[in-house]
Amino acid sequence: EDPLPSENALRRRLGVSRTTIRKVLGELDQRGVIVAATRSQVQDRQVLPNDYFPDVETMPRNLHIERHFMEWMLRGDTKPGTSINELELARHFGVA
């Protein structure tokens, strides 16, 4: 059982904040993928398909909004000249 890289090393390698790294490590610990020992984490078992985070949880917010907006427009819910309110759209797409 090799220890994982430090939080700072993971942060630099992945280009995210330490807060994000800590959240992910905490979730992996809860799922039993890693064991969080004092100041080091080690992989406890092979990763299973159910361990992967859903796309909606890992997709950047701007892509999530863009996808919902395009689906909404393509469904024909709007007509030419329809006034679009950003706050209403954010609430509709669950990103407000």
Cα Rg, the chain, nearest whole Å = 19
- pLDDT tens digits for 31-81? 888 887 655 666 667 778 888 877 777 777 788 788 888 888 888 777 788
Say if residue 13's pLDDT is above 90: yes
- Residue 95's nearest CA partner among 70, 75, 66 is 66
Give the N- to C-terminal CA distance of the chain in Å, as an integer. Answer: 42
| Cβ–Cβ < 8 Å for 45, 32 | yes
Q: The whole model's pTM is what?
A: 0.51
